[in-house]
Amino acid sequence: MTYLEIDDLVKQFGDLTAVDDVSFTVEEGEFVTVVGPSGCGKTTTLRMIAGLEDPTAGTIRIRGDDITSLPAYERDIGVVFQDYALFPHKTVFENIAFGLKMRGASEAEQEAAVEEMLRIINLEGYEDQYPHECSGGEQQRVAVARALAFDPDLVLMDEPLSNLDKKLRQSMRTELKRIQRETGVTTIYVTHNQTEALSMGDNIAVLNDGRLEQFGDPKAAYQDPDTPFVADFLGQSSQVSGTFRHNGSGPEVVSDGGTTIDVTPKDDVTDGDDVEVFLRNELLSLVDGESNGANVFEGEVRNVDYQGSDVNYFVSVPSLGTTVMVSATTGMQQTTFSEGTSVELAIDPADVIYTHP
Ligand SMILES: Nc1ncnc2c1ncn2[C@@H]1O[C@H](COP(=O)(O)OP(=O)(O)OP(=O)(O)O)[C@@H](O)[C@H]1O
Ligand SMILES: [Mg+2]
């Protein structure tokens, strides 16, 4: 059953439209990630769902009931804020029990719920510690427990992992998904980290400048983006403008510089359409001999950026009129290319992403 329905949601702050006609739906038990650059309206959208900000226009429904003007405290929603601030003078127990206490739960109920939450977040025995006695990652988990302990129908998380280092962030990501599966709580999770959004979401919402650019399956958003913004924002790629057409052997894009790039057909693109082509770094390969497949372009390695597990090559490709970045995994068996090497750049037509501008 559709749990949450956001319909034509708008938020204006004076002349600024922070959220511009956003609509999407969330099914019960789903994990939806919201991603987009800083200032695109992620927090504002979440705050409207939580009832902390009044929408300028639009409706928010939960299980079909219009809750747009319901006060925050009457919504059954747990929130983890961007700075996850715990109450500093309350213990871990009091922090987690807060929502229950506010809702009039008995002490026995509070104890049972806190015990259960501490088990879920792997912090048994931390009841009496204060936030300053917990590590950053532990505090973050307590904030998650606080949002979940009163058994809300919906949890909103705003960049809950923003203050963690890469390793801790990764393990917390797995932990959060486990917690969500275990509790089955419907979750909306805001991040500006595209990897996080792609890996955690059942569905992903990509916001840009207040507008929803794409909503749906993360894999579809990555492999078949609706707009150039989504193609560019998710992943790393080099962009070439051109025109779509069919020739004898199949569909292709002729770049503005006159180079043809073989592609596979798309339902919504027809001959003569202007398109933007995106060549994903990791789908391009470098070959240093003769190759005879489709989509081979000559270039020269201009810069090599060694990153441990992978290496990025910046290759100037005159026929595409641009410098293209190619990512390759490193390894003893891997050919490496040095600056100044002439190379051929190849990409499978099926891997070429293109969209209407
Ligand atoms: N209370 C407010 N008054 C005026 N403008 C606001 C207010 N809150 C947010 N804005 C503006 O609305 C826009 C969207 O802000 P929002 O906080 O939703 O962005 P965000 O996507 O969460 O960004 P970030 O990734 O940096 O957290 C921004 O331009 C911001 O300056
Ligand atoms: Mg924000």
Q: Whose CA is nearest to atom 6 of ligand 1?
A: 13
Q: What is the pLDDT of residue 211?
A: 98
Distance of CA 6 to the CA centre of its chain: 19
Q: Whose CA is nearest to atom 31 of ligand 1?
A: 39
Q: Could you give the 3-state DSSP secondary structure of residue 166?
A: helix
Q: What angle do CA 85, 86, 88 make, to 5 degrees?
A: 115
CA–CA distance, 205 with 42 (Å, rounded to integer): 10
| Residue 54: both structure tokens together | 């009044």
Question: Do the beta carbons of residue 50 and residue 75 sit within 8 Å?
Answer: yes
Q: What is the pLDDT of residue 290?
A: 62
Distance of CA 165 to the CA centre of its chain: 18
Q: Report how far apart the first and last C-alpha atoms of the chain are (Å, whole number).
A: 35
- Which is nearest to 3 in space by CA: 156, 153, 149, 181? 153
To test the pocket of ligand 1, the residue of 40, 82, 156 to mutate (highest count of ligand atoms within 8 Å of its CB) is: 40
Q: Could you give the 3-state DSSP secondary structure of residue 32?
A: strand
pTM attached to this predicted model: 0.90
The ligand 1 site (C-beta within 6 Å) comprises 13, 16, 18, 36, 38-44, 192
Q: What is the pLDDT of residue 172?
A: 80
- Which is nearest to 251 in space by CA: 277, 290, 284? 277
- Count CB atoms within 10 A of the CB of residue 70: 13
Q: What is the pLDDT of residue 291?
A: 63
Burial (0-12, 13-18, 19+ Cβ within 10 Å), 214:
buried
Q: Which residue has the tokens 């290319």?
A: 337
Question: Do the beta carbons of residue 254 and residue 322 sit within 8 Å?
Answer: no
Per-residue burial over 138-175, b = 16 or more CB atoms within 10 Å of its CB, e = otherwise? bbbbbbbbbbbbbbbebbbbbbbbeebeeebbeebbeb
Q: Whose CA is nearest to atom 11 of ligand 1?
A: 18
- Which is nearest to 315 in space by CA: 289, 343, 292? 343
Q: What is the pLDDT along the chain (357 residues), one digit of tens a residue?
A: 799 999 999 999 999 999 999 999 999 999 999 999 999 999 999 999 999 999 999 999 999 999 999 999 899 899 998 777 899 999 999 999 999 999 899 999 999 999 999 998 889 999 999 999 998 888 988 998 999 898 898 999 999 887 677 877 887 888 888 889 888 999 999 998 898 999 999 999 999 999 999 999 999 999 999 999 999 999 999 999 999 999 888 899 999 999 999 999 999 999 999 999 999 999 999 886 666 678 999 999 999 998 888 899 999 999 999 999 999 888 776 778 899 999 999 999 999 999 999
